[in-house]
Amino acid sequence: MRDRSHLLQYLTASAALLIVLMLTTSVAVAEEMERADFADTIHVIQPKPVLQKGRFNLTPRLGMTINDAVYRNFKVGANANFHITERIYAGGVVQWYNFGDVIGGPTQTFSDVNAQTRATVDAAYLNWGAGAEIGFVPLFGKFAFMNRGIIFYDVALSAGAMFSESTSVSQPAARQSGPAGTVSISTRLFLNEWMAVNVEVRDVLFSGRVRGQPSGVLTHSVTLGAGMSFYFPMGFEYSDSVSR
Protein backbone atom coordinates (compact mmCIF):
# COMPACT_ATOMS: atom_id res chain seq x y z
CA MET A 1 0.00 0.00 0.00
CA ARG A 2 2.83 2.34 0.87
CA ASP A 3 4.55 1.63 -2.44
CA ARG A 4 1.30 2.36 -4.29
CA SER A 5 0.81 5.57 -2.30
CA HIS A 6 4.35 6.72 -3.02
CA LEU A 7 3.92 5.82 -6.67
CA LEU A 8 0.66 7.79 -6.87
CA GLN A 9 2.29 10.85 -5.24
CA TYR A 10 5.23 10.57 -7.61
CA LEU A 11 2.99 10.38 -10.64
CA THR A 12 0.88 13.35 -9.41
CA ALA A 13 3.97 15.49 -8.79
CA SER A 14 5.40 14.54 -12.18
CA ALA A 15 2.17 15.43 -13.92
CA ALA A 16 1.98 18.79 -12.14
CA LEU A 17 5.60 19.53 -13.07
CA LEU A 18 4.91 18.57 -16.68
CA ILE A 19 1.90 20.88 -16.81
CA VAL A 20 3.92 23.78 -15.38
CA LEU A 21 6.71 23.17 -17.93
CA MET A 22 4.19 23.06 -20.78
CA LEU A 23 2.50 26.31 -19.69
CA THR A 24 5.85 28.07 -19.28
CA THR A 25 7.01 26.90 -22.70
CA SER A 26 3.75 27.93 -24.39
CA VAL A 27 3.91 31.42 -22.84
CA ALA A 28 7.53 31.86 -23.96
CA VAL A 29 6.65 30.70 -27.48
CA ALA A 30 3.67 33.08 -27.64
CA GLU A 31 5.82 36.04 -26.56
CA GLU A 32 8.46 35.16 -29.13
CA MET A 33 5.82 34.95 -31.86
CA GLU A 34 4.43 38.37 -30.86
CA ARG A 35 7.91 39.89 -31.07
CA ALA A 36 8.43 38.31 -34.45
CA ASP A 37 5.08 39.58 -35.72
CA PHE A 38 5.86 43.12 -34.49
CA ALA A 39 9.29 43.03 -36.14
CA ASP A 40 7.77 41.87 -39.43
CA THR A 41 5.04 44.56 -39.38
CA ILE A 42 5.50 47.64 -41.55
CA HIS A 43 4.79 50.69 -39.42
CA VAL A 44 3.50 53.68 -41.38
CA ILE A 45 3.73 57.25 -40.05
CA GLN A 46 1.36 59.46 -41.98
CA PRO A 47 3.00 62.75 -43.04
CA LYS A 48 1.33 66.14 -42.96
CA PRO A 49 -1.02 66.31 -45.95
CA VAL A 50 -0.09 69.91 -46.74
CA LEU A 51 3.31 71.58 -46.47
CA GLN A 52 3.09 75.38 -46.28
CA LYS A 53 6.73 76.51 -46.13
CA GLY A 54 7.67 78.57 -49.18
CA ARG A 55 4.08 78.78 -50.46
CA PHE A 56 1.73 81.71 -51.02
CA ASN A 57 -1.75 81.58 -49.49
CA LEU A 58 -4.73 83.67 -50.64
CA THR A 59 -7.93 83.68 -48.55
CA PRO A 60 -11.02 85.63 -49.70
CA ARG A 61 -13.53 85.92 -46.89
CA LEU A 62 -17.02 87.12 -45.88
CA GLY A 63 -17.87 88.16 -42.34
CA MET A 64 -20.02 90.12 -39.92
CA THR A 65 -19.54 91.94 -36.61
CA ILE A 66 -20.50 90.01 -33.48
CA ASN A 67 -19.75 92.44 -30.64
CA ASP A 68 -21.81 95.55 -31.46
CA ALA A 69 -25.42 95.61 -30.25
CA VAL A 70 -26.10 98.98 -31.90
CA TYR A 71 -24.78 98.54 -35.44
CA ARG A 72 -24.47 95.36 -37.50
CA ASN A 73 -21.62 95.54 -39.97
CA PHE A 74 -20.82 93.11 -42.79
CA LYS A 75 -17.52 92.82 -44.59
CA VAL A 76 -15.72 91.31 -47.56
CA GLY A 77 -11.99 90.96 -47.42
CA ALA A 78 -8.94 88.86 -48.06
CA ASN A 79 -5.63 87.77 -46.59
CA ALA A 80 -2.52 87.24 -48.68
CA ASN A 81 0.26 85.45 -46.79
CA PHE A 82 3.66 83.97 -47.51
CA HIS A 83 4.68 81.05 -45.28
CA ILE A 84 8.27 81.59 -44.16
CA THR A 85 8.28 78.28 -42.27
CA GLU A 86 5.65 75.67 -41.50
CA ARG A 87 4.63 77.70 -38.44
CA ILE A 88 5.40 81.35 -39.28
CA TYR A 89 3.87 83.49 -42.02
CA ALA A 90 3.63 87.17 -42.94
CA GLY A 91 1.33 89.05 -45.27
CA GLY A 92 -1.37 91.61 -45.80
CA VAL A 93 -5.03 91.96 -44.93
CA VAL A 94 -7.74 94.14 -46.48
CA GLN A 95 -11.37 94.54 -45.37
CA TRP A 96 -14.30 96.53 -46.79
CA TYR A 97 -17.43 97.27 -44.74
CA ASN A 98 -19.16 100.19 -46.49
CA PHE A 99 -22.14 98.87 -48.48
CA GLY A 100 -24.40 101.89 -47.95
CA ASP A 101 -27.96 100.89 -47.13
CA VAL A 102 -27.79 97.64 -49.08
CA ILE A 103 -26.62 95.44 -46.23
CA GLY A 104 -25.93 96.15 -42.58
CA GLY A 105 -27.02 99.10 -40.48
CA PRO A 106 -28.49 100.04 -37.08
CA THR A 107 -29.99 97.13 -35.15
CA GLN A 108 -33.40 96.81 -33.52
CA THR A 109 -31.69 97.51 -30.19
CA PHE A 110 -30.65 100.91 -31.54
CA SER A 111 -34.25 101.74 -32.51
CA ASP A 112 -35.68 100.50 -29.21
CA VAL A 113 -33.25 102.49 -27.07
CA ASN A 114 -33.86 105.66 -29.08
CA ALA A 115 -37.64 105.22 -28.80
CA GLN A 116 -37.65 104.45 -25.09
CA THR A 117 -35.10 107.01 -23.88
CA ARG A 118 -35.65 109.73 -26.48
CA ALA A 119 -31.88 109.95 -26.70
CA THR A 120 -29.56 109.52 -29.66
CA VAL A 121 -27.41 106.45 -29.23
CA ASP A 122 -24.14 106.54 -31.12
CA ALA A 123 -21.46 104.01 -31.98
CA ALA A 124 -18.44 104.05 -34.25
CA TYR A 125 -18.01 101.47 -37.00
CA LEU A 126 -15.49 100.75 -39.73
CA ASN A 127 -15.80 101.62 -43.41
CA TRP A 128 -12.60 99.88 -44.49
CA GLY A 129 -9.18 98.84 -43.27
CA ALA A 130 -5.93 97.52 -44.72
CA GLY A 131 -2.58 96.56 -43.28
CA ALA A 132 0.09 93.94 -42.64
CA GLU A 133 0.43 91.21 -40.05
CA ILE A 134 2.56 88.29 -38.94
CA GLY A 135 1.16 84.95 -37.86
CA PHE A 136 2.11 81.82 -35.95
CA VAL A 137 0.65 78.31 -36.18
CA PRO A 138 0.85 76.74 -32.69
CA LEU A 139 -1.39 73.75 -33.38
CA PHE A 140 -2.11 71.32 -36.17
CA GLY A 141 -3.73 67.91 -36.12
CA LYS A 142 -6.42 65.64 -37.54
CA PHE A 143 -9.77 64.11 -36.64
CA ALA A 144 -12.11 61.48 -38.05
CA PHE A 145 -15.17 62.88 -39.81
CA MET A 146 -18.24 60.62 -39.42
CA ASN A 147 -15.99 57.56 -39.92
CA ARG A 148 -15.76 58.50 -43.60
CA GLY A 149 -12.38 60.17 -43.72
CA ILE A 150 -9.69 62.06 -41.86
CA ILE A 151 -9.76 65.86 -41.78
CA PHE A 152 -6.50 67.72 -41.20
CA TYR A 153 -6.54 71.17 -39.64
CA ASP A 154 -4.37 73.87 -38.12
CA VAL A 155 -4.95 76.81 -35.79
CA ALA A 156 -3.22 80.16 -36.37
CA LEU A 157 -2.75 83.35 -34.35
CA SER A 158 -1.87 86.70 -35.95
CA ALA A 159 -1.22 90.31 -35.00
CA GLY A 160 -0.56 93.39 -37.09
CA ALA A 161 -1.09 97.05 -37.86
CA MET A 162 -3.67 98.63 -40.16
CA PHE A 163 -4.84 101.96 -41.53
CA SER A 164 -8.60 102.33 -41.29
CA GLU A 165 -11.49 104.68 -41.93
CA SER A 166 -14.50 104.83 -39.60
CA THR A 167 -17.69 106.76 -39.06
CA SER A 168 -20.57 106.67 -36.55
CA VAL A 169 -24.26 105.81 -36.52
CA SER A 170 -25.48 109.34 -35.74
CA GLN A 171 -22.84 111.12 -37.86
CA PRO A 172 -22.29 108.99 -40.98
CA ALA A 173 -20.75 111.87 -42.90
CA ALA A 174 -18.13 112.59 -40.21
CA ARG A 175 -15.42 110.15 -41.22
CA GLN A 176 -12.17 109.62 -39.35
CA SER A 177 -9.03 107.93 -40.63
CA GLY A 178 -6.03 106.71 -38.70
CA PRO A 179 -3.90 103.78 -37.55
CA ALA A 180 -5.46 100.67 -36.07
CA GLY A 181 -4.33 97.38 -34.60
CA THR A 182 -5.59 93.89 -35.32
CA VAL A 183 -5.37 90.40 -33.84
CA SER A 184 -7.01 87.21 -35.02
CA ILE A 185 -7.40 83.50 -34.41
CA SER A 186 -8.28 81.23 -37.32
CA THR A 187 -8.48 77.60 -38.31
CA ARG A 188 -8.09 75.87 -41.66
CA LEU A 189 -9.72 72.55 -42.56
CA PHE A 190 -7.73 71.13 -45.47
CA LEU A 191 -9.69 69.64 -48.35
CA ASN A 192 -6.65 68.74 -50.46
CA GLU A 193 -3.07 69.89 -51.07
CA TRP A 194 -3.99 73.39 -52.22
CA MET A 195 -7.44 74.27 -50.79
CA ALA A 196 -8.90 74.62 -47.30
CA VAL A 197 -11.99 75.97 -45.54
CA ASN A 198 -11.05 78.93 -43.35
CA VAL A 199 -12.88 80.28 -40.28
CA GLU A 200 -11.59 83.38 -38.50
CA VAL A 201 -12.39 85.62 -35.54
CA ARG A 202 -10.71 89.04 -35.92
CA ASP A 203 -10.60 92.06 -33.65
CA VAL A 204 -9.72 95.50 -35.06
CA LEU A 205 -8.98 98.21 -32.50
CA PHE A 206 -9.43 101.71 -33.94
CA SER A 207 -10.11 105.27 -32.83
CA GLY A 208 -13.66 106.25 -33.78
CA ARG A 209 -15.52 109.55 -33.55
CA VAL A 210 -18.86 109.52 -31.71
CA ARG A 211 -21.34 112.21 -30.73
CA GLY A 212 -20.50 114.05 -27.50
CA GLN A 213 -16.81 113.11 -27.49
CA PRO A 214 -14.26 115.80 -28.44
CA SER A 215 -11.68 113.20 -29.48
CA GLY A 216 -11.66 109.67 -30.82
CA VAL A 217 -12.86 106.75 -28.71
CA LEU A 218 -11.03 103.42 -28.81
CA THR A 219 -13.44 100.93 -30.33
CA HIS A 220 -13.31 97.18 -30.92
CA SER A 221 -14.76 95.71 -34.08
CA VAL A 222 -14.91 91.92 -33.67
CA THR A 223 -15.94 89.94 -36.73
CA LEU A 224 -16.62 86.31 -37.47
CA GLY A 225 -15.62 85.40 -41.01
CA ALA A 226 -15.45 82.37 -43.26
CA GLY A 227 -13.84 81.76 -46.62
CA MET A 228 -11.60 79.53 -48.71
CA SER A 229 -7.81 79.35 -48.62
CA PHE A 230 -5.92 78.69 -51.86
CA TYR A 231 -2.22 77.74 -51.95
CA PHE A 232 0.26 78.53 -54.71
CA PRO A 233 2.06 76.67 -56.10
CA MET A 234 -0.63 74.03 -55.87
CA GLY A 235 1.82 71.16 -55.41
CA PHE A 236 4.79 70.49 -53.15
CA GLU A 237 7.41 67.82 -52.49
CA TYR A 238 8.33 66.10 -49.26
CA SER A 239 11.97 66.19 -48.19
CA ASP A 240 13.91 63.68 -46.08
CA SER A 241 13.92 66.09 -43.13
CA VAL A 242 10.88 67.60 -41.47
CA SER A 243 10.45 71.30 -42.24
CA ARG A 244 9.98 73.56 -39.26
Domain ranges of the chain: 1-43, 56-232
CATH class of the 56-232 domain in this structure: mainly beta
The three-state secondary structure class of 169 is coil
Higher-confidence residue of 68 and 28: namely 68
Q: What is the pLDDT of residue 222?
A: 96
| C-alpha to C-alpha distance for 74 and 21, rounded to whole angstroms | 79
Is a pLDDT exceeding 80 seen at residue 85? Answer: yes
CB 198 within 8 A of CB 186: yes
Phi, psi (degrees; rounded to nearest 5) at 26:
-65, -40
pLDDT band at 60 (very low <50, low <70, confident <90, very high): very high
Mean pLDDT for 13-23 is 54
Q: What is the pLDDT of residue 39?
A: 56
pLDDT band at 22 (very low <50, low <70, confident <90, very high): low
Kindly state the helix (H) or strand (E) to which residue 56 belongs, with its residue range: strand 56-65
Q: What is the pLDDT of residue 208?
A: 86
Q: Over the chain, what is the mean pLDDT?
A: 82
Q: What is the pLDDT of residue 228?
A: 97
Q: What is the pLDDT of residues 179-211, one digit of tens each?
A: 999 999 999 999 999 999 999 999 999 998 887
Higher-confidence residue of 98 and 121: namely 98
